[in-house]
Amino acid sequence: MSNGNNTLLKVVDLKMHFPIYRGVFQRQVGAVHAVDGVSFDVKRGETLGLVGESGCGKSTTGRTILQLYKPTAGDVHFEDVNLVTLKSEEMRLMRRKMQMIFQDPYASLNPRMTVEQIVGEPLMVHNVAAGAEIHERVAHLLDVVGLNASFADRYPHEFSGGQRQRIGVARALALQPSFIICDEPISALDVSIQAQVVNLLEELQEQFNLTYLFIAHDLSMVRHISKRVAVMYLGVIVELAERDELYHSPLHPYTQALLSAVPIPDPVADAARKRKPLEGDVPSPVNPPSGCRFRTRCPIAEKMCAESRPDFREVSPGHFVACHLAK
């Protein structure tokens, strides 16, 4: 992966295993391999899309990058600083540069706090502003995300889903971060509102030179907003490439199956294309398959796929894939 100065975030072999305890003495009998060896980088000013089925570890990856979960193994380099090695106070200061927009705008806002208290809380926690200055900054932030400054005294239940998500975006912008993880920020919204929120994110990115890790399972929306796309399956990234390269020439069987299921507006073209439905269910992350994680559902799997885990290799410039048989 890239090591240039243009790289803002570099994730190296990141693992997050959640232990399973049982019995009176709470002995560990296993672990959920939520994230199991993920590596990628994010360049300054770009949007990297992270897609995959529900439960594949996308959100856990985002939270582990921000050290909301302490990783089991691996490194997370942000501006050449390894976040994994930082102490709590050092990490707290570093969090001013990185924020998160959460998936559910109904659950991520405190119902007992006003909009001004919610958006202004990061400013108070990090001693960036106080008193009247907080009021002024909150009014400006609400204006930036397309909300009326007079809404500052209202509570979250008085807003629609799209408006609540805009409040969440304003909170994420409060400390002027350079990197924001968007954890499925539109999945809980009406389709008519989704485009508005995505357009807002794109405008803010251009205005403030933001860098996004955009987590989603909507492939069409990821194609719209992302410059590069990483495809995740059962705790590992199976393919990563430039957006157009991935959508036009997917190499991994899982990516091919995902893209074949995306609806096409043209009924004739949609009927003519060959779909690649997957058989079986996603294996348990408690006991993942040996070798390639996807082999139990892969239509082209061979003996070697069960014997060894495929390397995440660069097949063509900027196009990485974890498959023994991809060329």
The per-residue pLDDT for 1 is 47
Categorise residue 13: left if φ over 0, alpha if ψ from -120 to 50, beta otherwise: left
The pairing of strands 313-316 and 81-82 is unpaired
Q: List the chain domain ranges.
A: 253-327
> What are the pLDDT tens digits along the chain (327 aa)?
444 469 999 999 999 999 999 988 889 999 999 999 999 999 999 999 999 988 899 999 999 999 999 999 999 999 999 999 999 999 999 989 999 999 888 889 999 999 999 999 999 999 888 888 999 999 999 999 999 999 999 999 999 989 999 999 999 999 999 999 999 998 878 888 888 889 999 999 999 999 999 999 888 889 889 999 999 999 999 999 999 999 999 999 999 998 887 777 777 776 777 777 788 888 999 999 999 999 999 988 899 999 999 999 999 999 999 999 988
Q: What is the DSSP string of 198-252?
A: HHHHHHHHHHHT-EEEEEES-HHHHHHH-SEEEEEETTEEEEEEEHHHHHHS--S
Integer angstrom CA distances of residue 194 from 46, 103, 264: 20, 12, 19
Pair 166, 145: CB distance under 8 Å: yes
The per-residue pLDDT for 5 is 67
Pair 154, 164: CB distance under 8 Å: no
Alpha-carbon gap, residue 170 to 143, rounded angstroms: 9
Integer angstrom CA distances of residue 310 from 109, 147, 216, 259: 42, 48, 25, 22
Nearest CA to 213 out of 237, 245, 249 is that of 237
Q: What is the DSSP string of 83-150?
A: GGG--HHHHHHHGGGEEEE-S-TTTSS-TTS-HHHHHHHHHHHTTS--THHHHHHHHHHHHHTT--GG
CA triple 282-285-288, angle to 5 deg: 80
The per-residue pLDDT for 2 is 47
Alpha-carbon gap, residue 104 to 271, rounded angstroms: 35
The per-residue pLDDT for 280 is 81
Nearest CA to 236 out of 49, 68, 33, 82 is that of 33
